[in-house]
Every structure is written in C-alpha cells, then in structure tokens.
Amino acid sequence: MSEVRLGVLVSGSGTILEAMLAHGLKVTLVVADRACRALEVAERAKVDALLVNRADFGGFRADFDRVAYTEALTKELRAHGVTLLAMAGFGTILTSALHEAYPGRVLNTHPSLLPAFKGWHAVTQALESGVKETGCTVHVATLELDDGPILAQRRVAILSDDDEASLHERIKSVERELYPVVVDRVMAFMSRGLEPRDVVGTLEES
C-alpha cells in the first residue's frame, strides 16, 4: 500500500473543500490562486495551505503569464510531495506542465452531464437548451477543457421555475456529495498501485 498525498486547488468559498474534509479525506495541501475563504477553511482544519497568487504573474490582465504561473504552482505541489490533485472550483486554466507532472492524476468536477455543455456557462446553456435534466460530472482533467475520462455522474432535474442561481445551487449540493466519494475511491485505488482512470465504471450513475 502506498500513501496518496492529495492536493486541492481552490479559488473561492471552499464548500467543496469543506465537503472533502467532512467526508474524512486526508488533504496534504490546499493551494489557492487568489485570496479566498477556502484558505481559511484549510487553516481552521489545520491543513497546510499556500497562496500562489496569479496577481504576481499578471493577474487577470491580457499579459498574465500562464506558463510561469503553472510552473510555480507545480513546483510547490511537487515540493510538498503531492501525488493526486483535485480541482475544487479552481479558476485558472493551467498549461501542460501540470499535466506532465501529474499525468492522469488531476481530477475535476463540472456542472453538467459531460460531454454536454462544456465550458464556463454550462448551467445557463442547460437552461437555454430546454433539456429536462442536467447534473454534475467528476472526471480526469486533461489539457482540453472539460474533457478526459468520466469517473462518475449524478443527474439533477431541471424544474419549470429554475433560474441559473437555483439550478446551480442544486447541482453544487449534489457535487458536494459526489466529488468526495469519487476522490476517496481514487485514493483507495492509487494506494493499491492503480490509477484514477481505473475507477471508470466502478461507481453507479444515479
């Protein structure tokens, strides 16, 4: 059995991180790309946390140095011995350097039933499309946005009076239940020498 050291990438309120900790996941390191409540969540839980601030690399300007930022973030992850990454509302798209350091070991959650409605506006797109249901997907992240092997999905009905806020909140509620379970399963598989992709098909869709 080998130890799996989980790193969680955050940008916001930290509710997914809270759900992971409540589930009992052992988090080695939390890294944020901006000052956010999630860092406070980590501090209260006595989990090591770092701010690798994208403001130091150009922030949200057109000259943001994505390559240098990714290299700095990856260096910190490796220095802390992280072996598995879970993006938890992380708002910065990273370059190939991260995926080369963690091939097939970057997890993400997305508010749709992928491959439907990729991108930043998945909830709005689901509402505008007229479909009767959407949901959330946990998958292995790749360089292509919202792509990679799907590990698990959970369906969420779209109600007649839903707007973006109400639907997104219901999806997030389901996401906070599903994501920790999947990460837990991945960590168990990796401790036996398997990879995240090996989880495919071992969790029932609901």
Q: Which of 110, 121, 139, 168 is catalytic?
A: 110
Cα separation, 65 vs 175, whole angstroms? 31
User: Strands of 6-10's sheet, edge to edge?
Assistant: 49-51, 27-32, 6-10, 84-88, 106-110, 133-140, 150-157
Residue 99 annotated to the active site: no
Q: Could you give the residue numbers annotated as active site?
A: 110
